[in-house]
Amino acid sequence: MDLATRGEIVIVKAPFVQVRGFEFRHGGSSKQRAQATLKGEGTLLEGCLFRDSEVRGVTADYSEPMDQTSAPIVVRGNWVLKPRRRGDRRQRGRREADG
């Protein structure tokens, strides 16, 4: 999934959703957002590839009304490639100038 967005690419709010085998690229760059946000009880995120994430790949949001009897959010077997932190380009430029 390659979308021209600066926010989350996927937000899962429904319970018991399974997301498997997707490739997510170039999202989550504004306001410390992730590329995928999981909010639903019993959600499974498995076997996905997150590329070129500006901040983070996945966020599990437990702010919805969940308690100890709720099914857990499961994140397993995913890859995050080429993660970057905001400001790395500026830092790198300063180091080269100081050189």
Amino acid identity at 45: L
In terms of residues, how long is the chain? Answer: 99
What is the arrangement of strands in the sheet containing 18-20, beginning at the earlier edge strand?
18-20, 44-46, 74-76
One digit per residue, the tens of pLDDT, for the chain of length 99 reads 555 555 677 889 999 999 999 888 766 556 667 788 899 899 999 999 888 776 677 888 887 678 888 899 999 998 888 766 555 555 455 445 555
Cα(first)–Cα(last) distance of the chain, in Å? 40
Tell me how many domains the chain contains.
1
The torsion of the CA quartet 71, 77, 82, 83, rounded to 10 degrees, works out to 30
**5 assigned to some structural domain:** no
Rg of the chain over CA atoms, in angstroms? 16
**29 assigned to some structural domain:** yes
Question: Kind and range of the H or E element at 95?
Answer: helix 88-98
Q: CA distances (Å), 36 to each of 23, 31, 89, in order?
A: 11, 14, 24
Full-model pTM: 0.69
Name the residue range of residue 85's domain: 10-98
**56 assigned to some structural domain:** yes
**93 assigned to some structural domain:** yes
**94 assigned to some structural domain:** yes
